[in-house]
Homo-oligomer: A and B are copies of this chain.
Amino acid sequence: MKARVKAIYRQLKQPVDAIVLSNSTEPHIDMSFFYATGLTDGLFEGCTAWLFPDGRCEIITSALEEEAAKKSGLPLRVFKNRDERRAAMRGSLRGLRRIGINSSELTQKAFTELKQLLPKGRFIDVSDAIMKARLVKDDSEVDLIRTACSIACRSLEQILPFIRPGRTESEVAAELVYTMQRNGATGAAFRTIVGAGPNSAEPHYTAGPREIRSGDLIVIDFGALYKMYHSDVTRTVVVGKASPEQREMYETVRQAQDAAMKMLRPGIRGKSVDAAARKLIDATKYRGRFIHGLGHSLGLATHDGGGLNSVSDIILKPGMVFTNEPGVYVSGFGGVRIEDDVLITRAGPEVLSTASRDLVTVG
C-alpha cells in the first residue's frame, strides 16, 4: 500500500524518519494499521506497522497472526513472546531520530513504551496527517464501502416484512444483523439501533425488549462491516398509517437531508453542509430539535475522522465519504433520522446507500 503510505507523508507538516502505528489490546487497535498495510482481516493485538518516507511498510507481528499478516505481501518480523516483541521493536527504532506517532489511536501506555525503547527519540504527533490521508478514499476503499452499503440496504429491504407489532426491537436488530451476515457482511459495523415509539427520540439508544406497536415511529440505524470497512445507514419507518405529525416530521428531515445533499461537492466547507440542513429544520416548528452534527467521515471506523458539524472546517474533496444524517427528536413522542452514505465526486454527490428514502410503512 505504497500509495497510502505516501499519501500520509504528503500531509506531514514536518519530516519524520518513520511513522509507527502500534496496536494495544482490543478495543485499542489503531485502525490506520489496516489502512497502511492493506490488511482486511485479523486482530493484530500488540503488533506494529512501520511506514517510511519512500512508501515502504513493514510489520512486526505476533506468530498468532503470521498467516494473516502474510496476506499483505509486506516484510514481516515475527515475535513469539514479549521479549522477542521488544527486541523487534528496538531493532526497528534503531537509528531513528524523529518518529511519527498516531496519538489519536495510540494508548498512553504504548507511547510510554516507545519512549522507553528509544529515550533519545523525538516523537511527533502525525495524527492529523493520517486522518487527512484516510479521509480521501482510494478506489479499492470506495469499492469496499460500496459493498458494505449495498449489503446493508439490501438486508433492510429484505427484513421489512419482519417488522410488525409484537416483535421486539432486539428481535428486529438480530434479524437485520443476521441478514447482513447472510448477505456477505463480516459482521455489523456497530451496535444496531432499533428505537421504537418514544425510544426513537434517543439518538444513541440501541435496542431493547420493547415490543413494536401500531403507530410507532421506528428509527433503524445500522451498518454492515465488509472486510473492515463500514457502512452506516438510518431509515425511519412507521407502523401502520403515519399521523399528520409524523409525516410532517419526516418531510422536514427529508428536505433537510436534500438541502445538505446538494452541498456535498468538492470545495465546500463542512460547516456549510451542516448549516444547510440545520437552517431548514430551524425554520420549522422543530427548531433546536436537530441535536447532533449532520454527519461524519466513514471508512475503517464508523466515526472515521472528520465530522460535518457546525464547527467543521473540512473542505470537501473527491474521494471523501460522509454520512448525511439529519434528525429531529421530540422527547416522549418520537424521532426521525434519515442517513445516507455519500461519496464526493467531481460530478457531485454519489449516494452509496441505495435503500428508498420515502417514508416506508410496515406492519
Contacts and interface: CB of A to CB of B under 8 A. Distances in A.
Given A25-B301, A291-B64, A107 B106 contact: yes
A203 B64 contact: yes
Interface of A: 24-29, 31, 41-43, 45, 63-65, 67-68, 80-82, 101, 103-109, 111-112, 125, 127, 170-171, 173-175, 177-178, 181-182, 184, 186-188, 190-191, 202-206, 291-292, 301-303, 310-311
Contacts of A182: 171, 174
Copies of this polypeptide in the complex: 2
Given A27-B301, A28-B27, A191-B187, A291 B202 contact: no
B171 A42 contact: no
Contacts of A203: 64
A156 B186 CA distance: 19
A64 B177 contact: no
A108 B112 CA distance: 9
- What 8 A-B pairs are tightest by C-beta distance, nearest first? A174-B181, A178-B178, A27-B27, A103-B108, A103-B109, A104-B109, A108-B111, A106-B108
Given A178-B177, A302-B26, A206 B41 contact: yes
Contact of A191 (B25, B65, B105, B186): B186
27 contacts: A26-B27, A26-B302, A27-B301, A28-B28, A42-B206, A43-B191, A67-B202, A68-B202, A68-B204, A68-B205, A81-B310, A82-B311, A103-B108, A103-B109, A103-B112, A104-B107, A104-B108, A104-B109, A107-B107, A170-B184, A171-B182, A174-B182, A175-B178, A177-B178, A177-B187, A178-B181, A186-B206
Contacts of A178: 174-175, 177-178, 181
Contacts of A80: 291
B174 A311 contact: no
Q: A24, A26, A101, A187 — which one has the most chain B CB atoms within 10 A of its CB?
A: A187
Contacts of A81: 310-311
Contacts of A29: 27
A82 B80 CA distance: 43
A63 to B, nearest CB: 6
Given A24-B104, A26-B27, 13 more contacts: A26-B303, A27-B28, A27-B301, A28-B28, A41-B206, A64-B203, A64-B291, A68-B202, A68-B204, A103-B107, A104-B107, A108-B125, A109-B127
Contacts of A42: 204, 206
Which interface residue of A29, A173, A186, A311 has the most chain B CB atoms within 10 A? A186
Nearest to A331: B67
B173 A181 contact: yes
B45 A303 contact: yes
A209 B204 CA distance: 34
